[in-house]
Amino acid sequence: MFASIAAAALLAAPAELPRLPPIVRPPQITYVDRSGAVLGVRGGRYAPPVDLAKLPPHVPAAFVAIEDRRFYDHTGFDPTGIARAIVTDIREGRLAQGASTITQQLARNLFLSSDRTAERKAKELLYAVQLERAYTKKQILGMYLSRVYFGSGAYGLEAASRRYFNKAPAKLTVREAAMLAAIMKSPTGYNPVTEPEANAQRARLVLDAMVETGAITSADRSKALAQTPRVWKTSPTAPAQYFIDWLDAETRRLAGKQIQDLIVDTTLDITTERAASEAVRAAAAKAPGAQGAVVSVDGAGRVRVLVGGLDYAASGFNRAVAAKRQAGSAWKPFVYLTALEAGRTPDMPVVDEPVTIGTWSPRNYEGGFLGAVTLEQALAQSVNTVAAKLADEVGRPNVAATARRVGIVSAVNTDPAMALGTTQVSPLEMAQAYAVFSNGGNRVQAYGVERIRTAGGKVIYQRKPPTWSQVVRNPALGDLNRMLRAVVSRGTGVRAALPGYDVAGKTGTTSDYKDAWFAGYTGGLATVVWMGRDDNASMPRVTGGGLPAEAWRATMASAVKRLPVMAIPAGPPPPAPVQAIPVGAPQPELSEPEDEPEAQLN
C-alpha cells in the first residue's frame, strides 16, 4: 500500500527525490579460446550494459512485450499496472501482485533486496523514477538485460544466450529470444532445460505479446513456433572451466591490480575440448565410478585441451593438474630414451625372463615370458622385466634425470620399481613431456595465456615467442619415435591408431587397475588420457590400451581436423662421427671467418 501512496504523490507533483546510490559493478575477466569463442567469465557477476544497437530488434522487444509493454511510455512506474495490483492485493489480502516495470526491476536489482515488503516496494518506485530521470530508455533496458537472472547460473543476456543456445545474443532467433524472455517470470519454473514444457508455453505467450505490441507479425510468430531450437542441457563451455580455474591465478598475477574489464586470449580450442570431454565421459560410462582427465599440448607448449573431470558442476577438482597418480608403463619411454642415449638400439636383442633386482621380482601383465625379443618388441608389448633391467643397467638416477629434462616436474623416486612407473605425476606434466617427442626434441613449457587486453584493446600482457632448447637428440629421438610408433601399430596401443596419421604413444596400467593411461602424439601435438577413481580403488580391469586409448583416438580425431599437425619430426641430424687424423698426416687448413658487420645501436 505504501507503493500506491508513493505513486499518488509522484503523480500529483514531482517532489525532490533521494539521490541514487552509486551503481557498483566489479570488473570481469572474460576468457576466450584461440578463435575468440567465449569460454567463461571470472570476477564480477554482471557484464557491462547490453548495447541494444548490436542486437536484432526482436530481442529487446521480447522482454518489453512480456515484462513491461508500456516501458517506452511511462516515467518509471505504470499507474495502470499499480491500480491493477492494488485490486489484486486487496482481494487476496496480501502483497501478491508485483506490477513492477522493467525500470523498477532494475532499481531492485541495483539497490535493493527482493524482500516482499511495502517499504521496499515504495523505495523501488522512487529509485525507478530517479533512474528514468538519469538515464535514457535504451540505457535502462541495457542495464536491465545485463543484470537479470536467467537461471542455471546465468546472469545477464550474454551469459544466458551462451548457456542455453551457445551463441552470442546478436544471433538469437525470434523463438530463442522469446524462450529467454519467458524465464523472467521464474528462473526455476520456466527454465528451458529443467522445465521445457513450461518454458514453451510461456514462450508462446511472449510471441503473442510481441504480435500485440507490433514487434513481429503473425507470420513471424508462426515461423518461430515451427522452430525447435537446440537447448544445451549442460553449459557448452563447462569442460573449459577446469582450464580457466588453472589459468585464473596466473592471469591475475600477470595483469596486476584489476580496475577494469579484461579479455584473456587463451590457447584452448573449445571444439576439441568438448570432443575430449565427450570422449572421456563415454569411456568412463563403461567403468562405473571412474573419473577421467585429458590434456593436449602442442609442440610449442600451448595447451589446446584440458579436461579435469567428467562433470565440472558435480566436481570442480582439477584432475588434469592437481591429481598425482602413478604413471604405470606410460613412464617407460623415459627408461628407453635413457637406454637409447646410452648406446642401445631398437633392434638390440634382449631376453624377457625372470629377473630379481634386490628383493624385487617384476612380473609381466600377461604373467609369462616372451624369451628373446628386440628392444622395440619389448616396448611395444610393454614387457616389464626388460624395462626393469634396462633402468638398472643405465642407472635409475639417470632415468629420473631424463624424465625431468623432458618436462616431469614432480618428485621422481629411484627405487627399482620406478622403471614401471611408480612415480606420481599429473596428466598435464605427462603431456608436457610427451610434447618433446612430438616436436623434434625441444623442451616446452605448457601454458594457456597468450595475451591479456582491456575491453578497449590495450594490451597488458603478451607472451613472448618460445625459445627452443634441444633436450633430446638423434639418433635416440628417432629410435624412440620408431619404437613408440610400433606400440600403436602392433603393440598394446593398437586401439589408438588413427588411419592416415603418423601416431606414436604408450599405454600405462598400474597395479590392481587403479590407474589407466594412454599418452601419445602426432607431429606437433601430444595428448594424454588418464582414467581412475578418486578414492584410488580398482577399476573393472580397465587398461591403458582399452578405454583410455579409445578416448585418446576420439580426441585426436577431432584435434587433427582443427589444429596444425604433421608427420612426427625427425629431429636434428645426429652428430657426425669424429675421424681420427693419422699421426704425421697434413692438418686441414682452417679458413679465417669473415668479419661480421657491427650491429647498429641507433
Say whether 198 sits in a helix, a strand or coil.
helix
**Polymer length of the chain:** 602
Active site residue 161: no
For residue 206, the number of C-alpha atoms closer than 13 Å in the C-beta half-sphere is 29
Say whether 303 sits in a helix, a strand or coil.
strand
Longest dimension (CA), the chain: 120
- 67, 124, 376, 429: the catalytic one is 67
In angstroms, what CA-CA distances link 464 with 34, 200, 251, 450?
16, 50, 15, 9
Question: For residues 484 and 488, what is the distance between their CA atoms, to the nearest angstrom?
Answer: 7
Per-position DSSP letters for 28-94, written without gaps between them: EEEEE-TTS-EEEEEE-SSPSPP-GGGS-THHHHHHHHHH-TTTTTSSSS-HHHHHHHHHHHHHHTS
Contact between residue 141 and residue 156 where contact means Cβ atoms under 8 Å apart: no
User: Which residues are CB-neighbours of 464 under 8 A, at least 6 positions away?
Assistant: none
Q: What is the DSSP letter of 291?
A: E
Active site residue 67: yes
Q: Report residue 1 CA to chain centroid gap.
A: 51
Nearest to 393 by CA among 349, 348, 359, 342: 342
- 277, 296, 329, 558: the catalytic one is 329
Q: Any idea which residue has 489480502 for its cell?
A: 93
Contact between residue 552 and residue 544 where contact means Cβ atoms under 8 Å apart: no
Question: For residues 140 and 52, what is the distance between their CA atoms, to the nearest angstrom?
Answer: 10
Q: Any idea which residue has 526491476 for its cell?
A: 105
Question: For residues 168 and 493, what is the distance between their CA atoms, to the nearest angstrom?
Answer: 41
Q: How far apart are the first and last CA of the chain?
A: 78
Question: For residues 311 and 154, what is the distance between their CA atoms, to the nearest angstrom?
Answer: 18
Pairing verdict, β 349-352 and 371-374: antiparallel
Per-position DSSP letters for 524-589, written without gaps between them: TEEEEEEEE-TT-PPPSS--TTTHHHHHHHHHHHHHHHHS--BSPP--SPPPPPPPPPPTTSPPPP
Q: Report residue 441 CA to chain centroid gap.
A: 27
Say whether 474 sits in a helix, a strand or coil.
coil
Q: What is the DSSP letter of 597?
A: P
Task: Kindly report the number of other CB atoms within 10 A of residue 255's CB atom.
Answer: 18
Report, as residue numbers or ranges, the catalytic residues.
67, 329
